[in-house]
Amino acid sequence: MILDIQGGPNHVGNYCDAPVIADLDADTVHYQSSYAYIGHFSRYIHTGAMCLFCELSDPSTELEVSAFQNIDGSVVCVILNRGDADTSASLQAKWTNDTVNAAIPAHSITTVTNEKVEL
């Protein structure tokens, strides 16, 4: 989860990246974009959640989507926009026919729950 500015410590010398980088010389901590991405999943998807089947109506889109139902019944949908343009998504629950519309900024991850939208 956290490495130094060189990608270590590492006992075999294959330095890598991490969500959090500590610069010990400058006494600073850098939070990488992957740290925010992990937050979208860990903040809303709880232990024991069930992965739900979801599909995009337009498979050529730059969007990727994952959906989960928590034990308390709440539904969480995480949407990745890999594209260069802002877009929107209409999410429809097949079992209730409820629809939620969400704005999805370019190069972003958006979390939609059955309670609110978090960017």
Q: What is the pLDDT of residue 119?
A: 42
Q: What is the pLDDT of residue 118?
A: 46
Q: What is the pLDDT of residue 36?
A: 86
Q: What is the pLDDT of residue 26?
A: 94
Whether pTM > 0.85 for this model: the answer is: no
Q: What is the pLDDT of residue 40?
A: 83
Tens digit of pLDDT for each residue in 42-54?
A: 999 999 999 998 8
Ranges of residues in the chain with a pLDDT under 50 are 116-119
Q: What is the pLDDT of residue 115?
A: 64
Spell out the SS3 assignment of the chain.
CEEECCCCCCCCCCCCCCCEEEECCCCEEEECHHHHHHHHHHHHCCCCCEEECCCCCCCCCCEEEEEEECCCCCEEEEEEECCCCCEEEEEECCCCCCEEEEEECCCEEEEEECCCEEC
